[in-house]
Amino acid sequence: MSYRIIFHIDMNAFFASCEIAENPKLANKPIVVAHNDVFRKSIILTASYEARKFGIKTTMLTGEAIKLCPELIIVEPNFDLYHKYSQTFFNYLYTITNKVEPTSIDEGYLDVTETCEKINAIELAKLIQKTLLEKYKLPVSIGIAPNKFLAKMASDLKKPLGITILRKREIDKILWPLPIGEMHGVGKKTRPRLENIGINTIGDLAQFKNIPLLEKTVGKAMATYLIERANGIDPSEVNYNSIDDLSSLSNSHTFRYNVININDIKNTLKVLTNTLSDRLIKRNLIAHTVGIQIKYANFKLINRSTSLENGINDNHELWHVIEDLFDDYYNGNEVRLVGVFATRLTDSSTQIKQYTIFDDMEQLSKVSKVERILNQIKKQFGDDSIKIGYYQYKGENE
């Protein structure tokens, strides 16, 4: 086949679904997974679709939810149970194809291009959905598309138990009318920036003509990424190898205790980013995809990444991407682990650095001088003799 067939499979109301699978008496009832404290101040981790009909949402306080639905059933979270069902979910997906990319505890991408040489894509999706529901009691929605972005968008269009095909020729009718905040890759930090320059729908973004303004608003790399995705273009592959394999580099840190202070989390991410930059530069590599990992105190793990037109290895450029990803996707809960990773690595000598009118040339010159001094020290006294810490250069975090 000259085209790809990508599935995005997303378990519906995952924690709640696991509880219902264990206790069928909870089926078709408004339930939430949350700590049932006497003061009703705990945060809802997941709400069943029956509960959502009352306006109950994830991260809402249980006290507020009970006001909306007095018959609400609160179930204490059981993270060992959720891990068991997550493992069951992915073990089953690996029986379909080995090209599986988990992106969270309850969702992932499959490249089924070769598999669909023997079975129709829709029939395969129906088989997967039926098996997961009937055998394991896990409802899922499946998006089918020629690339990852469209597959992800498709799986979000119909929940629960949806199967949606999204073709490039259909994006002007299906995707473009959607609010810009519903676009995968546009988080809570990026959305208001786009709305401030008149981009309110995905269609507005796809047809946006003032590219210099967009680049000034979100950065050149992100501007290219967003324009491509809004037009249904996504060249990224399903990464079914570990992010620690030879084609990628990663760093992570597990906190000794759960952390919720954003400065502490960001400072840790900065150190990880600086180390990642050192490793890339030492190997003469640049990364065309940069991402973050966040594991929350409830053990929910997410991976989010951005693909870049031009590869990078500079710690300032890497941090700009990492910080934006964190600001977009961090949900405000306690964090147990954070990580950064770089994939789609190529030889840095193959790319010429291109500067734009938006770059601060004076600051770039200062940074270059500092980096030359650091490299000289490392060369003379060893790689571990000096490292960049939280506050990288003067002018940052003042």
* Rounded CA separation 107/184 (Å): 14
Of 212, 223, 221, nearest to 357 by C-alpha is 212
* Rounded CA separation 91/272 (Å): 31
Crossing angle (nearest 10°) for helices 211-218 and 220-230: 120
Higher per-residue pLDDT: 129 or 354: 129
pLDDT value for 45: 86
User: With 80 as the cut, is the pLDDT of residue 391 above it?
Assistant: no
For the chain, give me the number of helices (H) and strands (E)?
14, 12
- The runs of H, that is alpha helices, within the chain are 14-22, 49-52, 62-68, 79-96, 121-136, 148-157, 171-174, 190-196, 202-206, 211-218, 220-230, 262-282, 315-329, 361-381
Pick the range with the lowest mean pLDDT from 21-25, 63-67, 197-201, 279-283: 279-283
pLDDT value for 382: 54
**Residue 255: what residue type?**
F
pLDDT value for 336: 92
Which residue of the set 19, 101, 107, 237 is catalytic?
A: 107
User: Looking at residues 44-72, what average pLDDT do you find?
Assistant: 94
Neighbour order of strands in the sheet with 248-259: 163-165, 140-145, 6-11, 107-111, 100-104, 301-312, 285-296, 335-347, 248-259
pLDDT value for 146: 97
For residue 29, what is the enclosing H or E element?
none
Cα 30 to chain centroid, rounded? 28
pLDDT value for 239: 81
Strand partners of residue 143: 8, 164
Percent helix, strand and coil across the chain, each to the nearest 5: 45, 20, 35
Tokens of 309: 């037109």
8-state DSSP, 161: T
Q: What is the pLDDT of residues 217-253, one digit of tens each?
A: 998 888 999 999 999 999 888 987 644 444 678 889 9
Q: Scan for tokens 């997303």, then name that residue.
A: 10
**Residue 85: what residue type?**
Y
* Rounded CA separation 144/163 (Å): 8
DSSP letters for 162-204: -EEE--GGGHHHHTTTSBGGGSTT--TTHHHHHHHTT--BHHH
Tokens of 165: 């095909």
pLDDT class for 396, splitting at 50, 70, 90? very low
Q: What is the largest CA-CA distance in the chain?
A: 70
User: With 70 as the cut, is the pLDDT of residue 161 above it?
Assistant: yes
107 a catalytic residue: yes
Pick the range with the lowest mean pLDDT from 111-120, 249-258, 261-270: 249-258
Domains and CATH numbers, the chain: 6-14+80-171 (3.30.70.270), 30-78 (3.40.1170.60), 172-230 (1.10.150.20), 248-381 (3.30.1490.100)
Query: Mean pLDDT for the chain?
Result: 86
End-to-end CA distance of the chain: 55
User: With 70 as the cut, is the pLDDT of residue 377 above it?
Assistant: no
* Rounded CA separation 215/197 (Å): 11
Q: Scan for tokens 């020629």, then name that residue.
A: 146
Cα 215 to chain centroid, rounded? 22
pLDDT value for 305: 86
Higher per-residue pLDDT: 347 or 18: 18
8-state DSSP, 43: B
pLDDT value for 256: 86
Please provide residue 37's backbone torsions phi and psi, each rounded to the nearest 5 degrees.
-80, 155
pLDDT value for 381: 52
Contact status, residue 268 vs residue 71, Cβ threshold 8 Å = no
- Kindly give, in sequence order, each residue whose CB lies less than 8 Å from that of residue 167, ignoring residues fewer than 6 positions away: 145, 146, 150
pLDDT class for 301, splitting at 50, 70, 90? confident
